[in-house]
Amino acid sequence: MVRWRWPKRRPGPAGDPSARAEDADAKHGPSVAAADTGEATARDGATAVTGYTGPDRGPAGPVHVSHTGAATASEGGLANTGYLAIGTFVQQAAPRTPAAWPHQVGELPPPALSFQHRTEADQLRAAVDGGGTAVLTQVLTGTGGVGKTQLAADYARTALDGGEVDVLVWISASSRSAITAGYAQAAVEVLAADPGDPERAARAFLAWLEPKADQKPCRWLVVLDDVADPADMRGWWPPASRHGRALVTTRRREAALTGAGRRRVAVGLFAPQEAAAYVTAVLAAHDRHEPADQINDLAADLGHLPLALAQAAAHIINAGLTCASYRELLADRIRKLADLLPEPGALPDDQSATVAATWALSIERANQLRPVGLARPMLQLAAMLDPNGIPATVLTSQPALTHLAEHRTSTSTGSTHQPAPVPAEDAVLALRALHRLSLIDHTPDTPHHTVRVHQLIQRATRDTLTPDQHNQLALTTADALTTAWPAIERDTTLAQALRANTDALTRTAEDALYQPAPHDVLFRTGTSLGEAGQVTAATAHFHRLAETTSHRLGPDHPNTLAARYNLAHWRGRAGDAAGAAAATEELLADTVRVLGPDHPHTEGVSS
């Protein structure tokens, strides 16, 4: 705190120090009191002062200093608390020199082992080659693990090595403060700006990127990698310039990231041949050679996801496995995905997170979007179903809405109230939140395949559930399928999608669907096959259902008898009249023995 004290004469005894100080004040001007000042910290050649900074007031110029804070200086800085008299003691920072071109700011990620050229790289290049005077800002979007950062680094490295840019700036843009710091560092290196005020330096760098008639043109490329929130980019987009390009990578898909001269490039999975070539090259680099069919099947098992393929290949090499043995482990649904990937310290290509951890932050961010707390339980439902397409009516059915309400992230503590109902509109918004973070693809225009989700995202989501949670979720999902199934199937595409989703649920949680008895959805699937004219498939379905129910619940369980009844019915519809008659006769005897002659099920069999 600095105060000016103006002179005021007052009587005092001879020799009174305060009187003499006030006489000096009257002669030389107001005195200055610097008290209770904060700390001063300076680095990198800067000067920092708290208290009084001003001209030398001479021997009689009263500056009273007390209770000043600590002063810390490093890297050639000057820090002072209390009083710095300009003209008496001034230390100037060493002059800075702007970097010569070409120049790179920030560190590019090293190229991945056996990096594959991809069609998305051609799309980026095509925009540059045919851009003319258009603003070249491109936004790479896609789920975590598809290789956006590697594509951006390859694009930047190629441009710099090819002499296409004078200044390359690479910024890890996971937060607004990181973006500011990246621009500020560019200003320090390229403009010799003072690093003491990062915000001011960052603004100066963006202003310098603006084309100017009296300025030597600079061909620049700014890469903002892994933008986590579109709001972080507000005010930080590189300016329009015929000499500049900008490239952004992000998992987000909001409209705010496109438009205004910005072009979106969707980054998808490896094509099957790209995935196989990548795994083959990685294994060959370690003197490992596997059959082509096993490599192709491994790539398919991992959904052609680049990050998963890299980490699976590393685990195969580290653990001394074959592709076939790794696939057997992967097929074991009791094992968690994290157990089939390298430990964090053994990840390839300087990766910092496993494929499962890569999505954890995205799920958390999606769950914070409105309607808050619904994205995670919605993803849990989708994780039990067909990755290739889930009907909208399943995820907005009443059992699904009840699940969302019961598992919504709580916004209060200690509440004993019943969870608030979730309307179907909020369920759709939860799907949009997951879509915005590239965790699912939500396409409302295809209602029977509205939601698609990568199979490994599904598995990573299921891995977070306890066994009891997993089983309960399976039953809830089965209820949702049954509720969404129309009594009369007029839409064959919808019926086919519901059957595919039931098959996916059965593969994921078959045990739960038999607790305490076979779920109705298992019977509904077989009936749907028959009604669709697939009588042979219906017969095979009920044959498996009868055998499984008999094994799990016993041959005399009513559900076993019901499965046998359906089997006999569809055998007859399939043309095996004699076999159907013999099966019905045998079933009738067992039904009478178990349920009695007057039971409605007995009458149904006899009729």
Q: For the segment 194-227, what is each residue's pLDDT rounded down to a tens digit? A: 999 999 999 999 999 998 888 888 999 999 999 9
Task: Using the predicted structure, report yes or no on whether residue 50 has a pLDDT greater than 60.
Answer: yes
43: exposed, middle or buried (Cβ count in 10 Å: 0-12, 13-18, 19+): middle
d(CA 491, CA 64): 89
471 compared with 57, residue with greater pLDDT: 471
Task: Render pLDDT for 253-281 as a digit per residue (tens, 0 to 9).
Answer: 999 998 778 999 999 999 999 999 999 99
pLDDT band, very low/low/confident/very high, at 73 (cuts 50, 70, 90)? low
What's the confidence (pLDDT) of residue 151? 95
Query: Which are the contacts of 236, defined by CB distance < 8 A and separation ≥ 6?
Result: 176, 179, 180, 183, 202, 206
Q: Please state, for a pLDDT cut of 70, what percent of the chain lies above it.
A: 81
What backbone torsions phi and psi does residue 108 show, to the nearest 5 degrees? -75, 145
Sequence letter at residue 376 = R
pLDDT band, very low/low/confident/very high, at 17 (cuts 50, 70, 90)? very low
d(CA 578, CA 586): 12
First-to-last CA distance in the chain? 100
Instruction: Identify whether the C-beta of residue 438 lies closer than 8 Å to the C-beta of residue 379.
Output: no
CA distances from 321 to 318, 335, 422, 556, 593 (A): 8, 16, 47, 46, 54
Task: Using the predicted structure, report yes or no on whether residue 10 has a pLDDT greater than 80.
Answer: no
Nearest Cα residue to 33 out of 75, 76, 62, 73 = 62
Mean pLDDT, residues 81-94 taken together: 47
pLDDT band, very low/low/confident/very high, at 606 (cuts 50, 70, 90)? low
What's the confidence (pLDDT) of residue 69? 65
Task: Using the predicted structure, report yes or no on whether residue 592 has a pLDDT greater than 70.
Answer: yes
Q: Please state, for a pLDDT cut of 90, what percent of the chain lies above it.
A: 68
What's the confidence (pLDDT) of residue 45? 47
| Mean pLDDT (the chain, rounded) | 86
Task: Render pLDDT for 470-504 as a digit per residue (tens, 0 to 9).
Answer: 999 999 999 999 999 999 999 999 999 999 999 99
Q: β-pairing, 31-35 with 2-5?
A: antiparallel
What's the confidence (pLDDT) of residue 131? 46
Q: β-pairing, 220-227 with 451-452?
A: unpaired
Task: Using the predicted structure, report yes or no on whether residue 250 has a pLDDT greater than 70.
Answer: yes
29-38, 99-108, 417-426: least confidently modelled range: 29-38
**Beta strand extents in 385-519 (DSSP E only):** 441-442, 451-452
Reduced to 3 states (helix: H, G, I; strand: E, B; else coil), residue 493 is: helix
Nearest Cα residue to 322 out of 309, 313, 331 = 313
What's the confidence (pLDDT) of residue 77? 53
Mean pLDDT, residues 554-580 taken together: 95
pLDDT band, very low/low/confident/very high, at 93 (cuts 50, 70, 90)? very low
Instruction: Identify whether the C-beta of residue 28 lies closer than 8 Å to the C-beta of residue 57.
Output: yes
Task: Using the predicted structure, report yes or no on whether residue 515 has a pLDDT greater than 50.
Answer: yes
d(CA 464, CA 472): 14
67 compared with 443, residue with greater pLDDT: 443
What's the confidence (pLDDT) of residue 242? 86
The residues pairing with 333 across neighbouring beta strands, listed in sequence order, are none
